[in-house]
Amino acid sequence: MKTCLMAALLAMACAFAWQGAATQKDTVPQKTASQPQATGVRHDHVGKPLPDYMTGDQCLFCHRGVVGPTWQQEPHAWTIREVGVPPSVPKPPADATHIIGSAQHFRALKLIGYGKFAVLGNDGKTWQSDVFATQCAGCHTTGVDPKTHAFSVFAFDCYSCHGDITDDHSKKPESVFLSSKRTREPREIVAICGQCHLRGGRSQSSGLPYPNNFVAGDDLFADFKVDLKRADDPTLNTADRHVYTYTRNVMELGLKQTCMDCHRIHGDPALKHAICVDCEDPTDAGKGAKPAKPRSATCDY
């Protein structure tokens, strides 16, 4: 009797042990083949409300000694500028309040309310009230509202390229996108630059020719569709083909060279940005080349 009881208890113990092992096998992840590493995409803001981002005025409190002295001379600071502010343009219309573009290619703007501009038509007479919001705002202003298409600040604020940074970023400078302290991730860089420089793309969610509330760190190409085969299109202007080519090199060929290897983000933009901003033909860069035709069907200037 005693022997039978001990045998029964032993059998029960073995059964519980087997059940526990089976449960553990089902719930504890087993080792599998290595998974691909993250590409830097951390979040997705498509169609969502704008983040309560840190403004450039806040940034300059600490960065005034390095960024402050040069910022107003950089192209990213004058994607839109008030009439009369350099770089000047020839004979802007009398009722224009702002200018978009370079001295060679520009359009006149008129402020018509908070976060809204009218664009002067190519006839030089008609102010178009809906063109800027649906064509230009996403790449020439900061903080475009996904619903109203009104913007927070004309030209670029730090947020446009560096992302929605946190208050403690001074202790973790590597968390700031495009920071010199951050490991350069090619896909991350071409997405940030491509949000504006990949002209010809279109948001699937909004139908507009600029990204829907892209924030640095998002997967730009999940919603913003671009045909990278245009890199081989001989009719595309030189500047656009250059951007398409390097983006394709990174996204499809896995190459490591990106925009930041040749282009400055801060500091004197002379020469390094002259090709993209002022010139049709790279061989004429710095020689006073004056392109005569519009460089982009999207921008129409």
pLDDT tens digits along 108-121: 999 999 999 999 99
pLDDT of res. 4: 43
pLDDT digits (tens, 9 = 90+) for 28-61: 333 333 222 334 455 689 999 999 999 999 999 9
pLDDT at residue 244 in the model: 95
pLDDT at position 92 is 86
> What's the pLDDT score for residue 58?
92
Distance CA 105, CA 207 (A): 26
Over residues 127-177, the pLDDT tens digits come to 999 999 999 999 999 999 999 999 999 999 999 999 999 999 999 999 999
| 146 assigned to some structural domain | yes
Provide the number of structural domains found in the chain. 1
pLDDT of residue 21: 38
Query: In this structure, is residue 16 part of a structural domain?
Result: no
Q: Is the pLDDT of residue 180 over 60?
A: yes
With respect to residue 206, please indicate whether it lies within any of the assigned structural domains: yes
* 169 lies in some domain: yes
Span 71-124, pLDDT tens digits: 888 888 888 999 988 887 888 888 999 998 877 778 999 999 999 999 999 888
Q: If DSSP states are collapsed to H, E and C, what string results for the chain? A: CHHHHHHHHHHHHHHHHHHHHHHHHHHCCCCCCCCCCCCCCCECCCCCCCCCCCCHHHHHHHHCCCCHHHHCCCHHHCCEEECCCCCCCCCCCCCCCEEEECCCCEEEEEEEECCEEEEECCCCCCEECCHHHHHHHHHHEECCCCCCCCCCEECCCCHHHHCCCCCCCCCCHHHCCCCCCCCCCHHHHHHHHHHHHCCCCEECCCCCCCCCCCCCCECHHHCEECCHHHHHCCCCCHHHHHHHHHHHHHHCCCCCCCHHHCCCCCCCCCCCCHHHHHCCCHHHCCCCCCCCCCCCCCCCC
- Structural domain that includes position 102: 40-284
Q: Is residue 165 part of a domain?
A: yes
Of 279, 275, 298, which is closest to residue 289 (Cα–Cα)?
A: 279
Residue 293 pLDDT level (bands cut at 50, 70, 90): low
Residues 129, 122: Cα–Cα separation, whole Å: 14
- Residue 190 resides in a domain: yes
Residue 69: its pLDDT value, please?
86
Residue 68 lies in a domain: yes
pLDDT at 295: 60
Residue in 150, 148, 136, 219 with CA at minimum distance from that of residue 185: 219
User: Is residue 22 assigned to a domain?
Assistant: no
What predicted TM-score, i.e. pTM, was given to this entire model? Answer: 0.78
Mean pLDDT of 282-297: 49
